[in-house]
Structure 1
Amino acid sequence: MWYTVTRGILAHESEEWSERMKSVSYWKRLLAFSVASVLLVIPFRFLTVNAVVKSVPEPDVHMNTDAQLQQTGDVYDGVLMKMTDLSYSNLDAYVGDSLLTLEDLAAVKQGPPGIYQQVDKVNQIDWHLSYDQANSFFFSDLAGWKILAVDDLEASLGFYAVAFQRGNTVVIAYRGTDNVMDLVADAGIYLSVPNMIEQLQPAEQFFKRVCSEANVPSGRVILTGHSMGGWLAQKVYLDERNAYTNWKIDGVTVFNSIGTGFQPKLQEASVVKDYHFDGDVFSHYGSSLGIEIDIPNPNPDESVYDRHQMYDFYGYFYPGSTPSTTVAANIEHSRTSM
C-alpha cells in the first residue's frame, strides 16, 4: 500500500515536472534568473567590458553639462523625461484619458501608485513643497496630452510601452528594466546576441500600431525611453524611420540608455540625444547614436543603482521649488500650442 501510494505521488510529480520542462515560460524564467546573477557583477566589470565595446574610434558628440536645456521638436525634454518616468506605471486602464485625469487622481493618492510615490520622492529630494504643490508642479506642463495607447507584454516578454498624443504630435515611451524577464533582453543587448532581445519586435510593432491609431492623417513622432527602453527607442528609430511617408520622427531623446551595438554618427547628432547621469555605469556600455549629454550628480555618495534611476533627472530639468525661466517658457509653450 505504501509503495503504491508513493509510486503514485512520484508519477504525479514526474508528470508535473515534465510539463514544466516543456514550458517555454519556465525556461525563459530560468534563463532570466541566471542572467540576473550575471548582471549583478556587471558594474564591477565595467572598465574591461567598456574598453572592448569602445575600441572603435568615435566622433566627439558629447555635450557639456552646462548646455542649454533643450527641446525635441516642440516638446521640452523635461516633459519627455516625465513621460519616460510615467511609462513605469501601469496605464492600461487610462487609455484615452488626459494626463490631467492622472493629476486629479494623484492629488488624492489614487490611480497608479508609481506616480504619486514618485512625486513624493522627487519632492523630498528637490522641491520641498507641500504634496499638493508638488503634484501640481509635476503635471504643470503636461496639459493637453492624453494617453493614446499602451502595449503590455510584461508577463510574457517583460515589454511595456505607452504612447502619448497632443494634436499631431505623438510620444512613444519604452519602459526599461522592470522585472526579471527584462534581464534576458538586457543580457542580449549587453552581449550583442540579437536572438535574446525578444522585446525589439513588439517595440517596432507598437510604433506602427500607434501611427495607424493616432486619428490624424500625418504627424510627428518622438521616441523616448530609459535604460533598455532607451536602447529600444534608438533601435526602432534606425529600423523604422522611413516606414511612413506621412509620419516624421522628430527626434529620439533617451535617458541613461544602454548604447551597446550602436556606432555614433555625426549625422544623427541633431536627432538622437542621450542624457547620461554622472556616475551611472549601466548606461556607459557602448555609445548612443547621437549626442550624449552629461548631467552632473550633486550627490557623489549615491549608490550605483540609485544613479541609474529616473528620479535623479528631475533636479536637472526642474530645479528648485519653482520652474526656471527656461522651464517656465516651455510650460507656457505647451499650454498655448494645444
Structure 2
Amino acid sequence: MRSPSFWKRFFAFTAASAMLVVPFRFLTVNAIVRAPVSKPTASVSENSDVTDGIYDGVLMKMTDMSYINWASEVGASFGQLEREAMVHRGPQALLAEIDRVDSMDWHVPYAQAVAEFFSDLQGWRVLAVDNQEAEAGFYAVAYQKGSDVVISYRGTTNNVMDLVADAGIYLSVPNMIDQLGPAKSFFERACTQASANVHGASIHAVLTGHSMGGWLAQSVYLDERNAPGPWVISGVVVFNSIGTGFQSITSPSVLVKDYHFDGDVFSRYGSSLGSVIDVPNPNPDASVYDKHQMYEFYHYFYPYADGVESTAVGSGRA
C-alpha cells in the first residue's frame, strides 16, 4: 500500500516533468565566449545596486555559491578560501565556477580571476549550512560579516524533490512544497547563531536565492518579517526567481529586488514582491538552460572594460 506522501510526490514529479520537458526539449547548449562588455552605468542607478550597504554583486556571488556544498568550510573566512583557491584547493565547484566566469567574461590569468572573484568578499565567512537535499531537496547557506548576515537558498538541481517543490510552486499547491518549513527554520537558527557571535547584537539579514531559491527567499520574508528574534530583515534580492503566488507589495518597508536575465523563461511565471530589474543579455543565442543560470549575471555586476580591468558598479560596504 503506497502512502499519501508517495502519491503526492509521484503526481508532483509527473506534473513537474511535463512542465519542464517541453522547454528543455528544444535546448541548444552552446559554448559561450562573449565579447567584453562595458560597465553598465546607464542601466543601474547609484543606489539601485546596493542593499543595506551591500553591493548586489556580492549578493549575486553568494547566491551562486549556494550551489556549492560548504559543509567542510563552515567557519572559514573568504580570505582563507581565496588563499586555498590560489593553489587550486577548496571546493571543486567553486574553482570550476571561477574558471567558467573567467572564460566567459574576464579572460585573464587564473590568479587574477581568483583575486577578482574574492575582491569584495573579504571579511565575510561561511556561517552555517543546512543540507536536507535527500529528505526535502532543501539546501541553504548563511554568511556573516559583523552584524550582517546573508542567507542564500539554493534553487532547483537534478534532485527529484526539487521537481516536486517546483510543481507545487508553479501549480500553487502549497502542500507539495516541503522546503518552506526548513527555509524558515534555517533563517531563525542562522540569525540566532550570528547574534551570539556578536555578543547578542541585533542582526541585519538579507535574503537571497535563485530560481526556486528566490521563491523561498521571498516566502521566508513574508512569513518572518514580523517574527520576534534578534534580527531584522533589511533586504531581499533574488535572481531569475519564480514568482507564483506573490502580489507586489505597494509600500514595502524592506526593499525587494528581483533580477531577471533577459530571455529567461522560468522567471516569467508569476510576479515579484518588489521591483524587477532586467539584466541585458549579450548573447541572445544562448540556450534556454544557460539563460536561467547564475553565471550569466557576472558580466552585469563585474564587467571588464575592454577585457583588461574591472570596476564594480556598486558602492557602499561589501
TM-score, with normalisation over the residues of structure 2? 0.86
Amino acid at match of 2:235: G
Amino acid at match of 2:175: N
Q: CA–CA distance in 2 between the matches of 1:158 and 1:196?
A: 12
Secondary structure of the residue aligned to 1:287 is: coil
Q: Which runs of 5+ in 1 are unaligned?
A: 1-17, 45-63
Secondary structure of the residue aligned to 1:129 is: coil
Q: Which runs of 5+ in 2 are unaligned?
A: 25-40
Q: CA–CA distance in 1 between the matches of 2:225 and 2:174?
A: 20
Amino acid at match of 2:94: I
Secondary structure of the residue aligned to 1:181 is: helix
Q: Confirm or deny that 1:192 pairs with 2:172.
A: yes
Amino acid at match of 1:287: S
Q: Confirm or deny that 1:171 pairs with 2:158.
A: no
Deviation sequence 1:293-335 (CA, Å, 0-9, x none):
00010101001111000000000000014332634x45xx43x
| 1:181 Cα deviation after fit | 1.6
Shift in CA distance, 194/120, structure 1 to aligned 2, threshold 3 Å: same
Aligned to 1:206: 186
Higher share in helix: 1
Aligned to 1:13: none
Amino acid at match of 1:131: Y
Task: Please show how residues 4-19 of structure 1 align to structure 2 within 5 Å.
Answer: none
Q: CA–CA distance in 2 between the matches of 1:95 and 1:291?
A: 33
| 1:101 Cα deviation after fit | 2.2
Aligned to 1:311: 295
Q: Confirm or deny that 1:324 pairs with 2:318.
A: no
Shift in CA distance, 33/192, structure 1 to aligned 2, threshold 3 Å: closer
Q: 2:78 aligns with which of 78, 83, 99?
A: 99
Q: Confirm or deny that 1:152 pairs with 2:153.
A: no
Bigger mean CA deviation after superposition, 242-251 or 194-203: 242-251
Shift in CA distance, 207/326, structure 1 to aligned 2, threshold 3 Å: same
Aligned Cα root-mean-square deviation (Å): 2.2
CA contact (8 A) 1:65 1:296 kept: no
| 1:28 Cα deviation after fit | 7.0
Q: CA–CA distance in 2 between the matches of 1:153 and 1:237?
A: 20
Task: Please show how residues 1-338 of structure 1 align to structure 2 within 5 Å.
Answer: 30-31=10-11, 33-41=13-21, 43=23, 66-68=43-45, 70-178=49-157, 179-214=159-194, 215=196, 216=198, 217=200, 218-244=202-228, 246-268=230-252, 271-320=255-304, 321-324=308-311, 326-327=313-314, 329-330=315-316, 333-334=317-318
May I ask how many residue pairs the two structures share in their alignment? 292
Larger RCO (CA under 8 A, 6+ residues apart): 2
Bigger mean CA deviation after superposition, 239-248 or 187-196: 239-248
CA contact (8 A) 1:65 1:293 kept: no
Amino acid at match of 2:177: I
Q: CA–CA distance in 1 between the matches of 2:125 and 2:312?
A: 26
Aligned to 1:55: none
CA contact (8 A) 2:75 2:126 kept: yes
